A and B are shown apart, each in its own frame.
Chain A
């Protein structure tokens, strides 16, 4: 037992080391842009914008992580986001305003608007799920390479976008949907959510203590555990007050954090998560361990589809319209974010946290360069080079370790 624990500690440090590198890189980039923009980049206002900018891509990057870990890829997520976005707009602007008053004549205009958003969200999530299941089925059970299936999917969905919009921008969008993508929590609800988050942090850490004791694993001293919990809580509080000093915590950012926590839990604490890593690590061995590899792959695509649904809904709310160009190239940003965050395209390795950090780094670069008024062509060039450089550094550092 003694040996087991010393190594366990070592391992915790090891995991954190990887995460720290990303955080460190992020801080350097922030300071760099803060310096170049005379502090504008680091203002709470810009910071708030930055987080909102990353949300739509971050849903895709979160969903892409399990897909890439199983050794697959999804090139259709940008088009799928765009497609679901125009479906959402079409529902809100054209179908539901006619349908709902007929079905529920007693409701006020305001409640009809909320109902319209609820119906839109449900339908969009379902469509995302179905498309994901469809592509996943062809990949997992049909044996067609993911690259081809999702490339085809990309074309089909682009066609779908043009078909739904007929090349026009679809408006108007209900206020309640716009709130989901553009809204802020007012001061006190924000603080309440922060307090709930802090309570959860403490509960989780203390519960793992009792568990460890129950199984006779030696625990860190109570002081250290409480210190760790306090540090995380302090971060939550600092974030909340920072956001509150501008307009408050943004609703899409909150949705992003909740989804990230849920999927991280799924990846680390459930059988499905364990199977995802196993399939990516060695498909044959996983199959011979009695695991239905095909079903695992199918489920990762279903999850990806669902998250494209979320992304599409938020996109519509944010743009306040359904446009033909929505979602273009998002798949590349999402994949870039995952890879920059340490997800291996060979499969078997990667974390949601890494994907989020990668996306945040990419978004920070984009935002920083915009704030500096750098020409768009330079922005693309710099982003591309940084992505390749980041992965090169990662590959090179791994090579050194193996020697």
Chain B
């Protein structure tokens, strides 16, 4: 029973114009286990998931896939067909209807009806309750999805899949938008699922999660399977080495910090939106060449704080901001850029890039004034400048004219960084710059941040990963519910101390209520 194979992938090859995304991929997934799938961005994980989910139907790839000892042949590119076969996929961003409740979402399109074909709401809600209870999913029954956290929405997504009695659940980077505590509860849920016999394929960029939850791991590199191993036989270092094809001893670059004079000073900054104060009296300063980390859970106001500095809230902010000793007023992104403040935003797809445009147009967008007069853009100079940054950041793109959407996540993020480097910022704000990015590219970005700091740029870096904050920052500011709850020096900071400040332990009761 234990050795039963639920999914067998044999010699799958998938080509895109000009690129071989998967090359002769074969591996097996045992029934009732949690099987990890890891690899750098562009290694082929997403392509493989899309094949299993039916996004790329049977005729678009070569090779065979056996599911439950039957060849899997998905013909249309609709996910319903895959679900009917018993395979469901949960993506990092939940795809649900925001103004419906959990139950309505779970049974969307399959609502239980009475004999007059009218929806039987009582049955719908009691079924929902049963499913949520069975898998220990902590989701309020009657709350609209839009009022739930990303983590809870993900649970609804999982419940939706389970309600359709899937045999194989694919989780594609489910944790990249979650806070540490949400990650913990997700891992508990996965363990429960395993006990009730559901097989999972688990994809993540956070390696430590593999060791907490998976039984086996398949590592992909450049579209090929490097190896499939038992999780208990390997170490994190070993997996990284397999992913990047070389040993990676250091996760963070050597720290040479030498903060200079004061660059940016923020005094009593508050932001009110619809009479609600989302940032409350935050004060801090930043020196030249310093990396200031901002830690905090999602919803702690860390993103709001930096976007306020970037002019997002216009006139709704109070308090003072000084740049190099002079008071400045920032009412729009235009102002911020003029003063030499740049922001690498949280969500590169929604806020950082114009995905349908070419790489060079994205890089030059905020910098066009550098090579244009009122009536003309010097395109050749533009291309030359963009090329410099593509080379400097070693962005892997076929050309400057490649549509940005077709790049891998890490390279897209590098394009966003290139765009802001070209503007020569004095202060560079990076909101979760390594979210959803592979280990190799992460290391490159860390190196770059360090290099920028050494050249005198003041850097504010937000991160969801405590390890990253600890590894990179000279100083760490912790936020909780719009307030700054503390500031730690590099030498005093530990994960525990940050978490205490981030959850503001004195308010434990209130937090517990919020989490429910």
> Which of A153-161, A282-290, A318-326, A371-379 is found at the contact surface with chain B?
A282-290
B336 interfacial contact with A, CB 8 Å: yes
* Chain A 364-403 interface residues, beta-carbon cutoff 8 Å to B: 403
Residues of A with C-beta under 8 A to B351: 284-285, 288
A57 interfacial contact with B, CB 8 Å: no
- Tell me the minimal C-beta distance from A280 to chain B in angstroms: 9
Residues of A with C-beta under 8 A to B343: 288
Residues of B with C-beta under 8 A to A6: 399
> Which of B20-28, B172-180, B369-377 is found at the contact surface with chain A?
B369-377
Known A287-B333, A288-B310, A291-B365; contact A274-B377, beta-carbon cutoff 8 A: yes
Q: How far is the CA of A348 from the CA of B387 in the complex (A)?
A: 24
> Which of A45-53, A92-100, A209-217, A249-257 is found at the contact surface with chain B?
A209-217
Residues of B with C-beta under 8 A to A278: 354, 357, 361, 365
Report yes or no: B399 in contact with A286, Cβ–Cβ below 8 A.
no
A277 interfacial contact with B, CB 8 Å: yes
Residues of A with C-beta under 8 A to B400: 4, 7
- Tell me the minimal C-beta distance from B232 to chain A in angstroms: 40
B: contact size bracket: 35 or more
Report yes or no: B375 in contact with A282, Cβ–Cβ below 8 A.
no
A196-224 vs B, Cβ < 8 Å mask (1 yes, 0 no): 00000000000000011011010000000
Report yes or no: A271 in contact with B401, Cβ–Cβ below 8 A.
no
- Tell me the minimal C-beta distance from B190 to chain A in angstroms: 32
Smallest Cβ-Cβ distance to B372: which chain A residue? A271
- Tell me the minimal C-beta distance from A383 to chain B in angstroms: 30
Report yes or no: A274 in contact with B365, Cβ–Cβ below 8 A.
yes
Q: How far is the CA of A211 from the CA of B332 in the complex (A)?
A: 36
Report yes or no: B366 in contact with A291, Cβ–Cβ below 8 A.
yes
B419 interfacial contact with A, CB 8 Å: yes
Report yes or no: B380 in contact with A4, Cβ–Cβ below 8 A.
no
Report yes or no: A282 in contact with B368, Cβ–Cβ below 8 A.
no
B410 interfacial contact with A, CB 8 Å: no
* Chain A 267-313 interface residues, beta-carbon cutoff 8 Å to B: 269-271, 274, 277-278, 281-282, 284-292
* Chain A 322-356 interface residues, beta-carbon cutoff 8 Å to B: 348-349
A8 interfacial contact with B, CB 8 Å: yes
Known A8-B399, A271-B368; contact A281-B355, beta-carbon cutoff 8 A: yes
Report yes or no: A290 in contact with B380, Cβ–Cβ below 8 A.
no
Q: How far is the CA of A220 from the CA of B12 in the complex (A)?
A: 41
Report yes or no: B381 in contact with A215, Cβ–Cβ below 8 A.
yes
Residues of A with C-beta under 8 A to B56: 403
* Chain A 1-50 interface residues, beta-carbon cutoff 8 Å to B: 1, 3-4, 6-8, 11
Residues of A with C-beta under 8 A to B383: 4, 215, 217
Residue in A215, A270, A349 whose CB lies within 8 Å of B384: A215
Report yes or no: B353 in contact with A285, Cβ–Cβ below 8 A.
yes
Residues of B with C-beta under 8 A to A285: 350-354
B60 interfacial contact with A, CB 8 Å: yes
Residue of A3, A4, A269, A291 with most chain B CB atoms under a 10 A cut-off: A4
Q: How far is the CA of A104 from the CA of B368 in the complex (A)?
A: 49
- Tell me the minimal C-beta distance from B466 to chain A in angstroms: 27
Q: How far is the CA of A292 from the CA of B338 in the complex (A)?
A: 13
Q: How far is the CA of A395 from the CA of B384 in the complex (A)?
A: 35
Report yes or no: B369 in contact with A271, Cβ–Cβ below 8 A.
yes
- Tell me the minimal C-beta distance from A351 to chain B in angstroms: 14
Q: How far is the CA of A320 from the CA of B268 in the complex (A)?
A: 68
B109 interfacial contact with A, CB 8 Å: no
What DSSP secondary structure best describes chain A's contact surface?
helix
Residues of A with C-beta under 8 A to B310: 288
Residue in B333, B355, B401 whose CB lies within 8 Å of A7: B401
Report yes or no: B353 in contact with A282, Cβ–Cβ below 8 A.
yes
Report yes or no: B401 in contact with A11, Cβ–Cβ below 8 A.
yes
Report yes or no: A7 in contact with B380, Cβ–Cβ below 8 A.
no
Report yes or no: B381 in contact with A282, Cβ–Cβ below 8 A.
no
Q: How far is the CA of A4 from the CA of B360 in the complex (A)?
A: 11
Residue in A7, A269, A274 whose CB lies within 8 Å of B361: A274
Report yes or no: A214 in contact with B380, Cβ–Cβ below 8 A.
yes
Report yes or no: A274 in contact with B368, Cβ–Cβ below 8 A.
yes
- Tell me the minimal C-beta distance from A45 to chain B in angstroms: 40
Report yes or no: A348 in contact with B356, Cβ–Cβ below 8 A.
yes
* Chain A 127-154 interface residues, beta-carbon cutoff 8 Å to B: none
Report yes or no: B365 in contact with A403, Cβ–Cβ below 8 A.
no
Residue in B350, B357, B374, B380 whose CB lies within 8 Å of A284: B350
Residues of A with C-beta under 8 A to B338: 290
Report yes or no: B381 in contact with A289, Cβ–Cβ below 8 A.
no
- Tell me the minimal C-beta distance from A207 to chain B in angstroms: 11
B74 interfacial contact with A, CB 8 Å: no
Residues of B with C-beta under 8 A to A8: 399, 401
B436 interfacial contact with A, CB 8 Å: no
Q: How far is the CA of A4 from the CA of B310 in the complex (A)?
A: 34
Q: How far is the CA of A63 from the CA of B353 in the complex (A)?
A: 27
Residue in B60, B356, B402 whose CB lies within 8 Å of A281: B356
Residue of A212, A269, A281, A286 with most chain B CB atoms under a 10 A cut-off: A281
B398 interfacial contact with A, CB 8 Å: yes
Q: How far is the CA of A80 from the CA of B351 in the complex (A)?
A: 36
Smallest Cβ-Cβ distance to B333: which chain A residue? A290
Report yes or no: B356 in contact with A271, Cβ–Cβ below 8 A.
no
Smallest Cβ-Cβ distance to B348: which chain A residue? A285
B379 interfacial contact with A, CB 8 Å: yes
Residues of A with C-beta under 8 A to B398: 3, 7
Smallest Cβ-Cβ distance to A273: which chain B residue? B377
- Tell me the minimal C-beta distance from A298 to chain B in angstroms: 15
Residue in B333, B334, B377, B402 whose CB lies within 8 Å of A269: B377
Residues of B with C-beta under 8 A to A289: 333, 337, 365-366, 419
- Tell me the minimal C-beta distance from B461 to chain A in angstroms: 17
Residues of B with C-beta under 8 A to A281: 354-357
B345 interfacial contact with A, CB 8 Å: yes
Report yes or no: B354 in contact with A211, Cβ–Cβ below 8 A.
no
Residue in A3, A270, A282 whose CB lies within 8 Å of B354: A282
B77 interfacial contact with A, CB 8 Å: yes
Residues of A with C-beta under 8 A to B372: 270-271
Residues of B with C-beta under 8 A to A290: 332-334, 336-338, 366
- Tell me the minimal C-beta distance from B62 to chain A in angstroms: 15
The 7 closest A-B pairs by CB, nearest first: A7-B399, A281-B354, A290-B337, A289-B366, A215-B380, A282-B354, A290-B334
Q: Supply 9 A–B pairs (Cβ within 8 Å), ascending by A.
A: A11-B399, A214-B380, A217-B380, A271-B369, A285-B351, A285-B354, A288-B333, A289-B337, A403-B56
Binding site for A on B (CB under 8 A): 56, 60, 77, 310, 332-334, 336-338, 343, 345, 350-357, 361, 365-366, 368-369, 372, 374-377, 379-381, 383-384, 387, 398-402, 419
Given A215-B381, A270-B377, A292-B332, 11 additional A-B pairs, CB 8 A: A4-B387, A270-B375, A271-B369, A278-B365, A281-B354, A282-B355, A285-B353, A290-B336, A290-B337, A290-B366, A348-B354
